[in-house]
Protein backbone atom coordinates (compact mmCIF):
# COMPACT_ATOMS: atom_id res chain seq x y z
CA UNK A 1 0.00 0.00 0.00
CA UNK A 2 1.32 3.44 -0.90
CA UNK A 3 0.52 7.06 -0.17
CA UNK A 4 -1.18 8.65 -3.19
CA UNK A 5 -2.21 12.07 -1.81
CA UNK A 6 -1.29 14.50 0.98
CA UNK A 7 -3.04 17.65 2.22
CA UNK A 8 -2.41 20.30 4.83
CA UNK A 9 -5.10 22.73 6.04
CA UNK A 10 -3.38 25.70 7.71
CA UNK A 11 -6.72 27.28 8.73
CA UNK A 12 -9.53 25.14 10.10
CA UNK A 13 -12.42 24.62 7.65
CA UNK A 14 -10.81 26.61 4.84
CA UNK A 15 -9.48 25.13 1.62
CA UNK A 16 -6.02 23.71 2.21
CA UNK A 17 -3.11 22.78 0.00
CA UNK A 18 -2.22 19.56 -1.77
CA UNK A 19 1.45 18.91 -1.05
CA UNK A 20 4.10 16.38 -2.02
CA UNK A 21 5.37 15.76 1.50
CA UNK A 22 4.38 16.38 5.13
CA UNK A 23 6.08 16.11 8.49
CA UNK A 24 4.32 13.99 11.12
CA UNK A 25 4.68 15.43 14.62
CA UNK A 26 3.14 14.41 17.94
CA UNK A 27 0.25 16.85 17.43
CA UNK A 28 -0.33 15.81 13.78
CA UNK A 29 0.76 17.08 10.40
CA UNK A 30 3.12 20.03 10.86
CA UNK A 31 1.26 23.25 10.06
CA UNK A 32 -2.13 21.58 9.85
CA UNK A 33 -5.10 23.39 11.43
CA UNK A 34 -2.84 25.59 13.52
CA UNK A 35 -5.04 28.63 12.83
CA UNK A 36 -8.78 29.19 12.98
CA UNK A 37 -11.34 31.97 12.68
CA UNK A 38 -12.78 32.92 16.08
CA UNK A 39 -15.97 34.83 16.80
CA UNK A 40 -14.89 37.72 19.04
CA UNK A 41 -18.23 37.99 20.87
CA UNK A 42 -18.72 34.32 21.72
CA UNK A 43 -15.14 33.08 21.73
CA UNK A 44 -16.25 30.13 19.59
CA UNK A 45 -14.17 28.94 16.64
CA UNK A 46 -16.22 29.13 13.46
CA UNK A 47 -16.35 25.86 11.52
CA UNK A 48 -17.89 25.00 8.19
CA UNK A 49 -19.96 22.49 10.13
CA UNK A 50 -21.92 25.52 11.34
CA UNK A 51 -21.20 28.08 8.60
CA UNK A 52 -20.42 26.60 5.20
CA UNK A 53 -19.08 29.90 3.91
CA UNK A 54 -15.76 29.26 5.63
CA UNK A 55 -14.96 26.63 2.97
CA UNK A 56 -14.77 29.45 0.42
CA UNK A 57 -11.62 30.75 2.10
CA UNK A 58 -8.19 29.43 1.14
CA UNK A 59 -5.00 29.08 3.15
CA UNK A 60 -1.49 28.02 2.27
CA UNK A 61 2.00 28.19 3.69
CA UNK A 62 4.85 30.03 2.00
CA UNK A 63 8.35 30.20 3.47
CA UNK A 64 6.94 29.05 6.80
CA UNK A 65 4.24 31.74 6.93
CA UNK A 66 0.49 31.36 6.50
CA UNK A 67 -1.32 33.30 3.76
CA UNK A 68 -5.12 33.52 3.70
CA UNK A 69 -7.40 34.47 0.79
CA UNK A 70 -11.08 35.12 1.51
CA UNK A 71 -13.68 36.39 -0.99
CA UNK A 72 -12.96 39.99 -1.88
CA UNK A 73 -9.28 40.01 -0.95
CA UNK A 74 -5.97 38.77 -2.22
CA UNK A 75 -3.67 36.73 -0.02
CA UNK A 76 -3.05 38.30 3.37
CA UNK A 77 -0.88 37.30 6.34
CA UNK A 78 -2.38 37.11 9.86
CA UNK A 79 -2.98 40.56 11.30
CA UNK A 80 -5.40 43.47 11.48
CA UNK A 81 -5.95 43.75 7.73
CA UNK A 82 -6.94 40.09 7.46
CA UNK A 83 -9.13 40.32 10.59
CA UNK A 84 -10.98 43.26 9.04
CA UNK A 85 -11.46 41.31 5.80
CA UNK A 86 -12.79 38.29 7.71
CA UNK A 87 -15.22 40.49 9.63
CA UNK A 88 -16.54 42.17 6.47
CA UNK A 89 -16.93 38.82 4.76
CA UNK A 90 -18.72 37.00 7.59
CA UNK A 91 -20.74 39.97 8.82
CA UNK A 92 -19.53 40.37 12.41
CA UNK A 93 -16.25 40.68 14.27
CA UNK A 94 -13.82 37.80 13.76
CA UNK A 95 -10.12 37.22 14.35
CA UNK A 96 -7.66 34.71 12.93
CA UNK A 97 -6.12 33.02 15.98
CA UNK A 98 -3.35 30.51 16.52
CA UNK A 99 -3.87 27.28 18.46
CA UNK A 100 -3.19 27.46 22.20
CA UNK A 101 -1.08 24.62 23.57
CA UNK A 102 -2.63 25.04 27.01
CA UNK A 103 -6.29 25.27 26.07
CA UNK A 104 -8.77 23.45 23.85
CA UNK A 105 -10.95 25.44 21.45
CA UNK A 106 -14.74 25.47 21.56
CA UNK A 107 -16.53 24.52 18.33
CA UNK A 108 -20.11 24.55 17.06
CA UNK A 109 -21.98 22.30 14.66
CA UNK A 110 -25.56 22.28 13.44
CA UNK A 111 -27.58 19.56 15.14
CA UNK A 112 -29.36 18.48 11.94
CA UNK A 113 -27.02 17.90 8.98
CA UNK A 114 -29.79 18.74 6.50
CA UNK A 115 -31.02 21.96 8.13
CA UNK A 116 -28.68 24.93 8.32
CA UNK A 117 -31.12 26.66 10.67
CA UNK A 118 -31.09 23.81 13.21
CA UNK A 119 -29.81 24.52 16.75
CA UNK A 120 -26.09 24.40 17.45
CA UNK A 121 -24.27 21.65 19.28
CA UNK A 122 -21.00 22.57 21.02
CA UNK A 123 -17.90 20.59 21.88
CA UNK A 124 -14.24 21.10 22.73
CA UNK A 125 -11.30 20.05 20.57
CA UNK A 126 -7.82 19.20 21.79
CA UNK A 127 -5.14 21.61 23.06
CA UNK A 128 -2.45 22.67 20.60
CA UNK A 129 -4.41 22.29 17.37
CA UNK A 130 -7.79 23.00 15.84
CA UNK A 131 -8.46 19.37 14.86
CA UNK A 132 -11.80 18.04 16.05
CA UNK A 133 -10.45 14.97 17.81
CA UNK A 134 -7.51 12.93 16.45
CA UNK A 135 -4.35 14.47 14.93
CA UNK A 136 -4.43 12.94 11.42
CA UNK A 137 -7.18 11.78 9.06
CA UNK A 138 -6.52 8.97 6.55
CA UNK A 139 -8.80 7.79 3.71
CA UNK A 140 -8.39 4.87 1.30
CA UNK A 141 -8.67 5.40 -2.45
CA UNK A 142 -10.44 2.06 -2.63
CA UNK A 143 -13.08 3.29 -0.17
CA UNK A 144 -13.90 6.20 -2.43
CA UNK A 145 -14.06 3.94 -5.48
CA UNK A 146 -16.37 1.58 -3.61
CA UNK A 147 -18.90 4.21 -2.53
CA UNK A 148 -18.81 5.76 -6.00
CA UNK A 149 -19.70 2.36 -7.46
CA UNK A 150 -22.57 2.07 -4.99
CA UNK A 151 -23.94 5.53 -5.85
CA UNK A 152 -22.42 6.76 -9.11
CA UNK A 153 -24.98 9.54 -9.40
CA UNK A 154 -23.36 11.34 -6.45
CA UNK A 155 -20.12 13.33 -6.35
CA UNK A 156 -17.47 11.51 -4.28
CA UNK A 157 -14.63 13.98 -4.80
CA UNK A 158 -11.91 13.33 -2.22
CA UNK A 159 -11.98 17.02 -1.25
CA UNK A 160 -15.37 16.49 0.40
CA UNK A 161 -13.68 14.33 3.04
CA UNK A 162 -10.65 16.56 3.74
CA UNK A 163 -8.08 13.85 4.53
CA UNK A 164 -4.48 14.54 5.41
CA UNK A 165 -3.37 11.28 3.81
CA UNK A 166 -4.89 9.31 0.92
CA UNK A 167 -3.62 5.74 0.65
CA UNK A 168 -4.25 3.13 -2.03
CA UNK A 169 -6.15 0.66 0.14
CA UNK A 170 -7.99 0.90 3.44
CA UNK A 171 -7.69 -2.81 4.27
CA UNK A 172 -4.97 -2.26 6.90
CA UNK A 173 -6.69 0.72 8.50
CA UNK A 174 -8.26 -1.20 11.38
CA UNK A 175 -8.57 0.35 14.86
CA UNK A 176 -5.67 -0.60 17.10
CA UNK A 177 -3.29 -1.41 14.24
CA UNK A 178 0.11 0.27 14.09
CA UNK A 179 1.41 1.28 10.68
CA UNK A 180 4.69 2.42 9.25
CA UNK A 181 4.06 5.50 7.09
CA UNK A 182 7.12 6.93 5.37
CA UNK A 183 9.75 7.35 8.08
CA UNK A 184 7.05 7.83 10.73
CA UNK A 185 4.53 5.52 12.35
CA UNK A 186 0.89 5.88 13.35
CA UNK A 187 -1.74 4.00 15.32
CA UNK A 188 -5.29 3.79 13.97
CA UNK A 189 -7.55 5.18 16.70
CA UNK A 190 -11.08 4.90 15.31
CA UNK A 191 -13.18 5.11 12.15
CA UNK A 192 -14.05 8.61 11.02
CA UNK A 193 -17.73 9.39 11.60
CA UNK A 194 -18.85 11.68 8.80
CA UNK A 195 -20.73 14.94 9.29
CA UNK A 196 -22.35 17.82 7.43
CA UNK A 197 -18.93 18.86 6.05
CA UNK A 198 -19.18 16.11 3.42
CA UNK A 199 -22.34 17.69 2.01
CA UNK A 200 -21.07 21.27 1.76
CA UNK A 201 -20.50 23.11 -1.50
CA UNK A 202 -16.85 23.95 -2.15
CA UNK A 203 -14.91 25.94 -4.75
CA UNK A 204 -13.81 24.01 -7.79
CA UNK A 205 -17.18 22.61 -8.82
CA UNK A 206 -18.22 20.69 -5.70
CA UNK A 207 -21.96 21.26 -5.27
CA UNK A 208 -23.98 20.75 -2.12
CA UNK A 209 -24.90 17.07 -1.99
CA UNK A 210 -27.01 15.85 0.93
CA UNK A 211 -27.13 12.38 -0.63
CA UNK A 212 -23.48 11.75 0.23
CA UNK A 213 -24.16 11.74 3.97
CA UNK A 214 -27.47 9.92 3.54
CA UNK A 215 -25.74 7.09 1.68
CA UNK A 216 -22.87 6.80 4.16
CA UNK A 217 -25.36 6.68 7.03
CA UNK A 218 -27.50 3.96 5.45
CA UNK A 219 -24.80 1.80 3.86
CA UNK A 220 -21.63 2.29 5.95
CA UNK A 221 -22.65 3.20 9.46
CA UNK A 222 -21.87 6.83 8.65
CA UNK A 223 -18.12 6.07 8.48
CA UNK A 224 -15.42 6.55 5.87
CA UNK A 225 -11.71 6.78 6.59
CA UNK A 226 -9.98 6.66 9.98
CA UNK A 227 -8.41 8.90 12.60
CA UNK A 228 -4.84 8.09 13.60
CA UNK A 229 -2.35 9.32 16.19
CA UNK A 230 1.40 9.64 15.76
CA UNK A 231 3.53 7.08 17.56
CA UNK A 232 6.79 7.95 15.77
CA UNK A 233 7.45 11.32 14.14
CA UNK A 234 8.74 11.25 10.59
CA UNK A 235 8.34 12.43 7.03
CA UNK A 236 5.75 11.16 4.55
CA UNK A 237 5.92 11.69 0.80
CA UNK A 238 3.62 10.76 -2.03
CA UNK A 239 4.71 7.31 -3.20
CA UNK A 240 5.93 6.19 0.25
CA UNK A 241 4.89 2.74 1.37
CA UNK A 242 2.50 2.08 4.25
CA UNK A 243 2.59 -1.22 6.10
CA UNK A 244 2.11 -2.83 9.48
CA UNK A 245 4.84 -2.38 12.05
CA UNK A 246 6.63 -5.64 12.75
Which CATH number fits the domain that encloses residue 142? 2.40.33.20
Query: 174 is in which domain, residue-wise?
Result: 3-244
Mean of pLDDT over the chain? 93
> Using one digit for the tens of pLDDT, what is the confidence trace for 114-161?
898 898 888 787 788 888 888 899 999 999 999 999 999 999 999 999
pLDDT at residue 102 tops 80: no
Of residues 25 and 132, the one with the higher pLDDT is 25
Q: What total number of domains does the chain contain? A: 1
Q: Would you state the pLDDT for residue 189? A: 95
> What local confidence, expressed as pLDDT, does residue 106 receive?
83
Higher per-residue confidence, 111 vs 78: 78
Q: How far apart are CA 130 and CA 54, in angstroms?
A: 14
pLDDT tens, residue by residue, 29-69: 999 999 999 999 988 999 999 999 999 999 999 988 999 99
Amino acid sequence: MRVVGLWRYPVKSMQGEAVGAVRLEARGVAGDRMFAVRDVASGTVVSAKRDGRVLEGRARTAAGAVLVDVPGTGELPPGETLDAALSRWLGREFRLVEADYARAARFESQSDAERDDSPSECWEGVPGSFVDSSPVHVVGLDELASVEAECPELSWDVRRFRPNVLVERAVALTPGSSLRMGTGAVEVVKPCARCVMTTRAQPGGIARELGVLRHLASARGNELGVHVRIIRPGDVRIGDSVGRLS
